[in-house]
Amino acid sequence: MTARAHGRSPTPALLLGLIITLATVAASSWYLSRQITQLSDLQHDLADRNRRDSLQLLRIQNDLNQLGLAMRDMLDREASYPLHAWSAQFDRIRSDLDDALRRQEEVSVTRRTPEQRELLGIAFKQFWDASDRIFALARAGDDEQASTQVRVSLQARQAALSSTVARQLVQNNENEAQTAAQVQEIYARLQRQVYWFLAAALAAIGATSLYLIHANRQLFARLAALSDERRGLAQALITTREDTLREISRELHDEFGQVLTAIGSMIKRAARHTDEGSPLRADLREVGEVAQTALDSVRGLSQTLHPSILEELGLASTVDWYLTTVERQLGLHVSYERPAAPVPVDPAVAIHVYRVLQEALSNVARHSGTTEAVVRLAFKDRTLYLEVEDHGSGLPPALSPRGLGLVAMRERAELVGGTVTIGTPPGGGSARGTRVSLVVPL
């Protein structure tokens, strides 16, 4: 059997995939080119932010210069203003500095580390704390000590802050120049690499796809052959298993059943030769009951392994008998919808239908989480229909459609020219449920 017998050839799908891949590469190229344009726009945006950052730094530097001029005027002996009168100008400059620092942090292209921000913040805090102490001394009338603190502490702090801001301005200018050069170089190199990549990718994709199509055609042909071999082996194993179960069932029924029947008869005969009130008679009766129980168990096991009534009474009667044992064996309450007019089924076909029913109900008991099931058997247009339905939790991951039991059901269906489908029943309510449907042409 060829790959076409199992499904369509993968070649059309692979060709479609090749076309889609090439279209995707072309679309990606267009998208990448657009991204480069957006990167260029972003570079211009960064340059603008760097310019605004420099403007804020210049604003901070100007405020620091105003502080320097104010401190020089404060120390002028000929000035007619007391030292504490300068506090209003310091407050105004401080407010402007705080605003400038906040704006500079928002537009800064190169973010400072938390340690750097903390050091700069500490430096400004120390400056303002020192200025607050100086104005406190001035208000207390100690202008001489306040002037000394301005010369010794405040002017030095202002000079250090001015140097720091000046270094940031220089660094901004250098970074802007370096960034612009590097970005232009990256753009040029990226564009060249994109063209080379697209050419190589298109060539590789074309060659690989053609090879993949050729290899897949060979692979699917081989898989089709292996599938045929596996199917033949599986069907042979199923047939051998049924033959073995039939022999074991016959041995249990004929050999062990006859032995247990004989034992029961001998015990009854021995009991009749004992006195009515004798303890031995009671023991013999008890042994006879045990032998009868064992005989019933052997007969039940024989029917489970291979129901002899399948050949004697047919499939419909066998299903009737089996469903009466399901509640005791599996703990399931089964609602059975009988066929209106049973049709004789070849025992070689009926045994596989019976096994599918067994496996489906066993899965309901083990995996569905419910104790209710529905079985429907029908004959229509020389076709047998069997459905096993529950409204439980559905198939668990451990019992995927590739599980061994479900594979066995499919193999049995194929043995008799039928099909098995597994799905969700309509109107299952909040629970998903499972429906196993077997269709066998007669």
* Residue 396 pLDDT class (50, 70, 90 cuts): low
Q: What is the mean pLDDT of residues 243-253?
A: 69
More confident position, 169 or 397: 169
Flag whether pLDDT at 375 surpasses 80. Answer: yes
Q: Is 56 buried (19+), middle (13-18) or exposed (0-12) by CB count in 10 A?
A: buried
Query: Where would I find the H helices in 75-113?
Result: 87-107
Residue 182: count other Cβ atoms within 10 Å of its Cβ.
11
Q: What is the mean pLDDT of residues 106-124?
A: 69
Cβ atoms of residues 386 and 356 within 8 Å: yes
- What are the pLDDT digits (tens) for 147-164? 888 888 888 888 888 888
More confident position, 420 or 12: 420
Q: What percent of the chain has pLDDT over 70?
A: 81
* φ/ψ (deg, to 5) at 403: -60, 155
Question: Residue 438 has what pLDDT?
Answer: 93
Q: What is the mean pLDDT of residues 109-134?
A: 75
- Residue 219 to residue 47: CA distance in whole angstroms: 58
Which part of the chain has CATH 3.30.565.10?
307-441
Cβ atoms of residues 375 and 354 within 8 Å: no
Rounded to the nearest integer, the mean pLDDT of the chain is: 78
Burial readout 8-33 (b: 16 or more C-beta within 10 A, e: otherwise): eebeeebeeebeebeeeeeeebeeee
Question: Residue 412 has what pLDDT?
Answer: 83
Q: Are strands 333-337 and 372-380 parallel, antiparallel or unpaired?
A: parallel
- CA nearest neighbour of 64 among 165, 151, 135: 165
DSSP code of 398?
G
- Residue 437 to residue 421: CA distance in whole angstroms: 5
Structure tokens at 179: 């960034």
- Residue 397 to residue 108: CA distance in whole angstroms: 54
Q: What is the mean pLDDT of residues 334-341?
A: 87
Structure tokens at 328: 């005791």
- Residue 197 to residue 148: CA distance in whole angstroms: 71
Flag whether pLDDT at 77 surpasses 70. Answer: no
- CA nearest neighbour of 356 among 274, 423, 414: 414
What's the number of CA atoms in the CB half-sphere (13 Å) around residue 269? 6
CA distances from 142 to 145, 146, 147 (A): 6, 6, 9
Question: Residue 388 has what pLDDT?
Answer: 92
* Residue 321 pLDDT class (50, 70, 90 cuts): confident
Flag whether pLDDT at 186 surpasses 50. Answer: yes
* Residue 117 pLDDT class (50, 70, 90 cuts): low
- Residue 67 to residue 100: CA distance in whole angstroms: 15
Which fold would CATH assign to domain 307-441? Heat Shock Protein 90 (3.30.565)
Range from 34-38, 95-99, 406-410 carrying the lowest mean pLDDT: 34-38
Give the predicted TM-score (pTM) of the model: 0.46
Flag whether pLDDT at 439 surpasses 90. Answer: yes
DSSP code of 430?
T
Question: Residue 14 has what pLDDT?
Answer: 62
More confident position, 30 or 441: 441
Question: Residue 113 has what pLDDT?
Answer: 61
Q: What is the mean pLDDT of residues 301-325?
A: 78
Flag whether pLDDT at 136 surpasses 70. Answer: yes
Residue 284: count other Cβ atoms within 10 Å of its Cβ.
20
Question: Residue 404 has what pLDDT?
Answer: 65
- Residue 152 to residue 64: CA distance in whole angstroms: 17
Question: Residue 330 has what pLDDT?
Answer: 83
Overall size of the chain counted in residues: 442
